[in-house]
Structure 1
Amino acid sequence: MTIQTAYAEATETYQIPRLIRLAPNLYGACFTLMKMIPARYILRRAEAQGLLGPDTVIVETTSGTFGLALAMQGVHMDRRVVLVSDPVIDERLYRRLVDLGAVVDRVPAAAGAVPGGYQAARLQRLAEVRAEHESTFWPEQYSNPDNPRSYATVAELFLECLGQVDCVVGPVGSGGSMCGTVTSLRTVLPECRAIAVDTHASVLFGHQDGHRELRGLGMSLMPANLDHSVFDQVHWCSASAAYAATRQLHRQHALFMGPSGGAAYLVARWWAAANPAALTVVMLPDEGYRYQDTVYDDSWLRSAGHLDAPAPVEPVVVADPTRPSGSWTAYDWNRRSFAEVMAGAALGAG
């Protein structure tokens, strides 16, 4: 085995989640860095197809862990990486990206006030960055079908280790992890349910775009990789509810995960308890090291007002997905397209 091969296998281990039993019928799929799955798959496919030459610069718009996965892959593939991000990128993540050799190009703070917010501004800046380089490869995590396609390996792991899977719960951003995993599972288990976890002021399932404190899920622009017809139910969680659940996951199970995983855990724990005969798996995308000064700091939580209200124990079920209500809201999506659900909501409003 060569040193280069050993390095490649080291990054590959980031793709494999630990399956931890959290309740008699609930398992957590605990990833060190879930975004390594699409990053590694997309880049290696691009290299095999001749799209990633020795001088090609990898460029992407990201403020989260997909950028970290690309930067790590850039080290092992000996490629330059330019990441277009925004001012709210976590400082710990920023330092790590720079230390890995990535160039992090942050759009100005004023960009957050325009339609589409930082995500639209980042896409515009990305186009400018591409024009500045002779050869670039853009993984396009939001629209590249290789993103959801890469998660077939996760579905295979669930089937191999658990056999029957009745429900998968997970946070939704680009749509890749949940749509890819569940679609692959349903080739064997067509009745497997999918529950999306989003946050308020995210456009993914019908809310108006706005400020979102909770990171790692939700979007200001609709990603092409999000197949709404995959989902049976959608839940929206506030930052306070997600943070409380994240800390409960740590205290009760010693799992040190990020707040998007905490939000998913809140929903999955409730659904598993309400459906004791069904086996549920919850996707926990990354670990909590970036949140030690925030979510895992009681002083920060208190100063931000997140300790003022008790954590919710069940969602408020709504008939209209466009109208948020409370810190934890649920809606029966019933595997319909976005257009179908929005048309029904408009008729109800009328």
Structure 2
Amino acid sequence: MTKSSAPFREITEATLLPKVVRLGPNLYGAVFSLMKLVPARYILRRALERGELEPGTVIVETTSGTFGLALAMEAALLERELILVSDPIIDARLHRRLSDLGTTVVIVEHPAAEGGYQASRLARLAELRAGLPRTFCPEQYSNPDNPASYRIVAELLRDTLGQVDCVVGPVGSGGSLCGTVRALRAQTPHTRAIGVDTHRSVLFGQPDGPRLLRGLGNSLLPANLDHTVLDEVHWCSAAEAFAMTRWAHRHHALFQGPTSGAALLSARWWAEANPDAVCVVMLPDEGYRYLDTVYDDEWIDGQGIDVTAPLPDKPVEVLHPSSPAGDGWSRYPWQRRGLEAVLAEARA
């Protein structure tokens, strides 16, 4: 047997990039096992190069999602202690896996009056850092290394598909969509960006409120969300996202999480409306964390959701992002403007 000349890779490097799969005549999915490995690995390796992650340095971060898992995997490989500040909504399966990787998970019990759990988590994070001699915080919401890390994703898409005319992706920290599209636009300035959010998220001007659909949206505005990158913004309900997630599993054998379902709903519509354009949808993580929720019929029934109900053919276009048309799928032509410029229209 001939020994391969390719270097052996760590698991986080080997599973870093997505598989690009065809979902329609002009629609392609960037299917990640764990998309947050891209920024987690890049941020920590850059910190290591800069001498900010010497032995004894504790990595600390606030997260209730897959960025925490990505950090835990990298921290285990780098042999660094990791403390994550989360909240009671953290998925039980994720919590168990984090603990098994050696991560300390600190749970804040009460949301802040403004900013909800994310604000209270940030406050607890600051307390922890003040009590430790040496820490490093990846700061996924504000660290420019987050969007910068997605240059390799853009390169993969360009190498695989050639010209990419539109990228659709869920928005949480803003890093994945903004970073990928900015890198693509270095060669194709026309490449469109469609950000997918959920109702009662502050990212695009709606008031903060409870959200059943997790993994996208935010109660605070992250610095890494560059609103001027966005051509359109879509809002998707939990019911629509869950139904589309199950549809993708049945019809495309895509076993992904609900943020993927939300993005796919918008991407399928855009691709069908623009048959001569190449559209890519970002599908961030696999479905294993959602076996007890999105993929469980009893849990779905308990939420009063019918995942077999027909999905709308197109989104409702709203006049302004602060006044959505109910809780259903809607869209707003953002036109690469800053948040303040868009919100000023409502005050005019």
Inter-partner Cα distance in structure 1 for 2:59 and 2:41: 12
User: How many aligned positions are there?
Assistant: 341
Aligned ranges 1:195-214 → 2 under 5 Å: 195-214=194-213
1:133 matched to which residue of 2?
132
How far is the alpha carbon of 1:198 from its aligned partner? Answer: 0.2
Aligned ranges 1:131-170 → 2 under 5 Å: 131-170=130-169
1:87 matched to which residue of 2?
88
Q: Report the AA paired with residue 168 of structure 1.
A: V
Aligned ranges 1:61-140 → 2 under 5 Å: 61-108=62-109, 111-112=110-111, 114-140=113-139
Contact 1:84-1:104 at 8 Å conserved across structures: yes
Inter-partner Cα distance in structure 2 for 1:137 and 1:128: 14
2:321 matched to which residue of 1?
321
Given the alignment of the two structures, is residue 278 of structure 1 paired with residue 277 of structure 2, yes or no? yes
2:35 matched to which residue of 1?
34
How far is the alpha carbon of 1:112 from its aligned partner? Answer: 2.5
How far is the alpha carbon of 1:17 from its aligned partner? Answer: 0.2
Contact 2:196-2:233 at 8 Å conserved across structures: yes
Inter-partner Cα distance in structure 2 for 1:312 and 1:258: 20
1:246 matched to which residue of 2?
245
Q: Deviations over 1:198-219 (max 9, x none)?
A: 0000000010000011011000
Q: Report the AA paired with residue 325 of structure 2.
A: S
How far is the alpha carbon of 1:313 from its aligned partner? Answer: 2.2
Inter-partner Cα distance in structure 2 for 1:90 and 1:41: 25
Contact 1:43-1:139 at 8 Å conserved across structures: yes
Give TM-score, length-normalised by structure 1: 0.96
Contact 2:112-2:120 at 8 Å conserved across structures: no
Contact 2:115-2:220 at 8 Å conserved across structures: yes
How far is the alpha carbon of 1:11 from its aligned partner? Answer: 1.0
Q: Report the AA paired with residue 224 of structure 1.
A: A
Contact 1:182-1:192 at 8 Å conserved across structures: yes
Contact 1:14-1:34 at 8 Å conserved across structures: no
How far is the alpha carbon of 1:113 from its aligned partner? Answer: 5.7
Contact 2:169-2:195 at 8 Å conserved across structures: yes
1:220 matched to which residue of 2?
219
Give TM-score, length-normalised by structure 2: 0.96
Inter-partner Cα distance in structure 2 for 1:113 and 1:152: 35
Structure 1 portions without partners, runs of 5+:
none
Q: Deviations over 1:191-238 (max 9, x none)?
A: 000000000000000100000110110000000000000000000000
Structure 2 portions without partners, runs of 5+:
none
Structure 1 stretches of 4+ with a deviation exceeding 3 A read none
Contact 1:59-1:138 at 8 Å conserved across structures: yes
Inter-partner Cα distance in structure 2 for 1:345 and 1:139: 36
Aligned Cα root-mean-square deviation (Å):
1.2
Question: What is the percent sequence identity of the aligned residues?
Answer: 63
Q: 3-state SS of the aligned residue for 2:119?
A: helix
Contact 1:321-1:345 at 8 Å conserved across structures: no
1:334 matched to which residue of 2?
335
